[in-house]
Amino acid sequence: MSNQRVIVYTSNNCSNCEKVVSKLSEWEIEFEERNISSNREYFKELQKKKVYGTPATFIDEEQILGYQENKLKRTLRVPYEERFLDTDAMHYS
């Protein structure tokens, strides 16, 4: 779906990390997950970028910190779902 390079830095016991990974999978976005709890080198990479928390998502050169679903969608160009519109409620008798 996307030609962008997506890297997600995660850590153990991080519910927002799980949300990011789950959404990317749901949207069928290819990504690389780098768990800083299990790999010290990933932790050092993240520190070099002056980021000290997870989740940290890098889409090409753009970084998205935390779980920001709308920003992820916008950056990855994931289509927004149309909102339910009750047309019957719009007609007045």
**How far apart are alpha carbons 81 and 93 in whole angstroms?**
30
- Provide the number of structural domains found in the chain: 1
Question: Given this model, what pLDDT does residue 71 score?
Answer: 94
- Look at strands 6-10 and 32-35 and give their pairing: parallel
pLDDT(69) > 80: yes
More confident residue, 75 or 84: 75
Residue 26 lies in a domain: yes
The model's pTM is 0.82
Question: Given this model, what pLDDT does residue 79 score?
Answer: 81
Range of the domain at 51: 6-90
Residue 1 lies in a domain: no
**How far apart are alpha carbons 89 and 63 in whole angstroms?**
42
- Alpha-carbon dihedral sign for residues 78, 27, 80, 82: positive
Residue 43 lies in a domain: yes
Q: Which residues of 56-91 are buried (b: 16+ CB within 10 A; e: fewer)?
A: bbbbeeeebeebeeeebeebbebeeeeeeeeeeeee
Angle at 22 (CA atoms; ends 19, 57), nearest 5 degrees:
65
pLDDT in tens, 14-68: 999 999 999 999 999 999 999 999 999 999 999 999 999 999 999 998 999 999 9
Domain of residue 54, CATH code = 3.40.30.10
Question: Given this model, what pLDDT does residue 88 score?
Answer: 54
